[in-house]
Amino acid sequence: MDLSHALWRKSSRSGDNGGHCVEVASNLAGEDAIAVRDSKNPDGPALVVASGEWSTFVNTLKAGRVVLGPIMAAAPATTAFRRAPGRT
| Out of 5-19, 40-54, 71-85, least confident range | 71-85
Q: Is residue 27 part of a domain?
A: yes
List 35's β-bridge partners, or say none.
25, 48
- pTM higher than the cut 0.75: no
Q: Does an H or E element contain 53, and which?
A: helix 51-62
CA distances from 65 to 5, 46, 78 (A): 34, 25, 15
Segment 29-38, tens digit of pLDDT: 888 999 999 8
Domain extent for 18: 9-83
* Res. 78 pLDDT band, cuts 50 70 90: very low
Q: Is residue 58 part of a domain?
A: yes
Position 71 pLDDT exceeds 80: no
Q: DSSP letter at 77?
A: G
CB 83 within 8 A of CB 67: yes
User: For the chain, what is the radius of gyration of the CA atoms?
Assistant: 14
Q: Is residue 66 part of a domain?
A: yes
Split into its structural domains, the chain has a count of 1
